[in-house]
Amino acid sequence: MLSKVEVKIIASLKLKKFRQETGLFIVEGEKGVLEALGAGWLCDRLIIRSDWYKKHDLPALFSVQNLSEITEVEMEKMTQLSSPSPVLAVFKQQELPWSWQAGDANFVLALDQIKDPGNLGTIIRIADWFGLAGVICSPDTVEMWNQKCVQSSMGSVFRVPVRYADLTAFLAEEASNRVYATVLGGEDLRKTQFADGGVVLVGSESFGLSAHLQAQAGHLLTIPAFGAAESLNAAVATGIVCSWLRA
């Protein structure tokens, strides 16, 4: 059983301020929690709805020491989902090892001002799918511990290294001919000869990629349009580019 104070503290993790102060974040749903535990992330508290607990046999979950059974009403006070999951866990934030260096034979994604947490989570998932070395974000990109980001990554946030850094300085270490920027009006993506590694730049949903970052790229890539849509969602565009660089 959780105390009212504990329920209040967990509920406060909906806000970035308290995630930053505590170094904690929330994962909701059986799959996400199992992914985090399987990847070795440290669970601060595991919370399971009592009625669900009695009907399931999941040793990986029930072996967690800090486990509490709660009612559906209590879960509704802590959940960040419109339909509360029967499983919620609080994990400690951590950084996965970053091994990629300029010149390496693999790609990383560099994200400029991505504001939508769902987009960020999906992009991390895309990086995982295509076996990219990591994701580096501009400081004004949305926080990765946002619940929507964690949820959208479908567990990939526990496997893909993510860093926040000044992209201008980061790109300065990589040869410009290995930097690929996604823009409107660039060269046809399908005709691009990709190197064996490098950086793929993706800009914000509203404003695209910053001009000074475009200037650091040796390749300005465009996904050819065949209809009347003005633009593509940042995560969708990232997925298309990644499929071509792995072709």
Considering the domain architecture, whether residues 45 and 77 belong to the same structural domain is answered as yes
**Does residue 112 share a domain with residue 88?**
no
Dist. CA 48–CA 87, nearest whole Å = 5
Per the structure, how many domains does the chain have?
A: 2
196: domain CATH number is 3.40.1280.10
Same domain, 132 and 60: no
123 and 224 in a single domain? The answer is yes
Q: Which of 33, 64, 92 is the last residue of a domain?
A: 92
Which of 74, 70, 61, 81 is CA-nearest to residue 14? 81
Q: Are residues 81 and 51 in the same domain?
A: yes
pLDDT at residue number 62:
65
- Looking at the domain assignment, is residue 102 inside a domain? no
Residue 39 belongs to a domain: yes
Per-residue model confidence (pLDDT) at position 205: 79
Tens digit of each residue's pLDDT (9 = 90 or more) over 145-174: 999 999 999 999 999 999 999 999 999 999
Question: What are the residue ranges in the chain where pLDDT is below 50?
Answer: none
Do 112 and 143 reside in the same domain of the chain? yes
What's residue 83's pLDDT?
Answer: 85
Of the residues 57, 92, 127, the one at which a domain ends: 92
Domain end among 60, 92, 124: 92
Contact indicator for 147, 29 with CB cutoff of 8 Å: no
Residue 34 Cα distances to 14, 21, 26, 129, 144, angstroms:
21, 25, 13, 18, 19
Q: How far apart are CA 215 and CA 179, in angstroms?
A: 10
Q: Provide the residue range defining the domain that includes 57.
A: 4-92
Closest C-alpha to 30, from 207, 122, 155: 155
Q: What's the confidence (pLDDT) of residue 84? A: 86
Is the residue at 75 inside a domain?
yes
* Nearest in space to 113 (alpha carbons), one of 44, 208, 26: 208
- Whether residue 122 is found in the same domain as residue 229: yes
Report the CATH number at residue 8: 3.30.1330.30
Same domain, 28 and 141: no
* Tokens coding 237: 């565009």
In a domain, 97, yes or no: no
99 belongs to a structural domain:
no
Q: What is the C-alpha separation between 81 and 75, in angstroms, rounded? A: 10
- Residue 60 has what pLDDT? 65
31: DSSP letter: H
Flag whether 182 is in a domain: yes
Residue 2 has a pLDDT of: 82
| Domain presence at residue 37 | yes
Q: Are residues 29 and 123 in the same domain?
A: no
Same domain, 30 and 120: no
- Are residue 82 and residue 131 in the same domain, yes or no? no
Q: Is residue 145 part of a domain?
A: yes
Residues 120 and 204 in one domain: yes
